Amino acid sequence: MLAARSIEALTETKAAVESLGRKALVVPTDVRHEESVHNLAEQALSHFGRVDVLVNNSGIGGPTAPLWEITPVDWQETFAVNVTGVYLCCRAFLPTMIERRSGCIVIIGSMTGKRPLFGRTPYSASKMALVGLARTLAWEVGPYGIRVNVVSPGGVEGERIEWVIRKQAETKGISLDEARRQFTSSSPLGRLIPVDDVAAAAVFLASDRATSITGEDLNVSAGMVMY
């Protein structure tokens, strides 16, 4: 089951899944709103009868600026999607997992929660909040056989990281090439992260090969973060 605000993104992802010979059910969802998330959970149970894995992958980049230039509206919007959305999804899907005494939750965080990036205070704070959420929740649901983990990617190849690098260049007053060089130079591998590497980490944590792993924050950052 796929859920997102963007119909275009859902359509593209559904087509990608079906091209692999799999089936995909799409449910337009706004994770900022409880009613929308409740509808998602109801449809999942109605269609599948059970939920084994919940992957919280929704998120927005938020503003890039010094903290004193960030408006309360931008701050609240970043947390509404990146943190409250995860809370609402976990809250909606956990009852069925608790009833079955089985399940797995994977939360997509970010290395930015642990490694400072200039002008990214709202995003960084929201992603670090997810680590605290996951570790506390792991203790709460562990007795029911449910695992909770975080995947914290580094700079993942694609439009979002290019936007971040561009904003970094503007905020610091440097060239785009220099901003990109500064970003990748903090990695021992000197590169961005292929999106498939992040997906593979999430699949591993959701699999039976990770049955003894919970409350962990797995870095997929090409070495940009090692703690």
Q: What pTM did the predictor assign? A: 0.91
Domain formed by 51-220, architecture: 3-Layer(aba) Sandwich (3.40)
- Whole-angstrom CA distances from 19 to 22, 26, 44, 138, 194 are 7, 15, 22, 35, 20
Determine the straight-line distance between the first and last CA of the chain, rounded to whole angstroms.
Answer: 33
Active-site residue set: 123
pLDDT of residue 164: 80
Question: How confident is the model over 111-155, as pLDDT tens digits?
Answer: 998 988 888 999 999 999 999 999 999 999 999 999 999 999 998
Q: Is the pLDDT of residue 46 over 90?
A: yes
The full set of domain ranges for the chain reads 51-220
Give the SS3 label for residue 30.
coil
